Amino acid sequence: MANSFTAHNIRLDDGSLTKPEQPWQTEDLALVKFTKQFLRMVFPDGAAGKRVVDLGCLEGGYTVELARAGFDALGIEVRESNFENCQRVKAGTNLPNLAVRV
């Protein structure tokens, strides 16, 4: 049985959402937008070849958005149910620069 998502409403490549009942998506969060903007300022030459690590990534929402921004993004999560959801997100996105680990 699949675990329900409890933290991140992530848009998958097929257009589906991990928490469709939630009125906002992870990509729309002010902190996600700020983080991506800040990283663009820190790395003005772009994200290529840069790796970010999201420690305690919950279900991978921020990790996915950083991968979509072009970073090599690694999400680390130890809670089994969250890690399983991270794997579902990884399978639902075509992001070769996205990795999740325990």
pTM for this predicted structure: 0.93
Distance, in Å, from the CA atom of 100 to the CA atom of 36, rounded to the nearest integer, reads 19
pLDDT in tens, 22-79: 999 999 999 999 999 999 999 999 999 999 999 999 999 999 999 999 999 999 999 9
**CB 100, CB 57: distance < 8 Å:** yes
pLDDT of residue 45: 95
pLDDT of residue 50: 96
State yes or no: pLDDT of 1 exceeds 70. no
**Tokens in use for 12?**
């998958």
Which CATH superfamily includes the segment(s) 26-101?
Answer: Vaccinia Virus protein VP39 (3.40.50.150)
3-state SS assignment for residue 9: coil
Going by their DSSP bridges, the two strands 72-76 and 51-55 should be labelled as parallel
pLDDT in tens, 64-100: 999 999 999 999 999 999 999 999 999 999 999 999 9
Q: Which of 100, 93, 42 is nearest to 73 (CA)?
A: 100
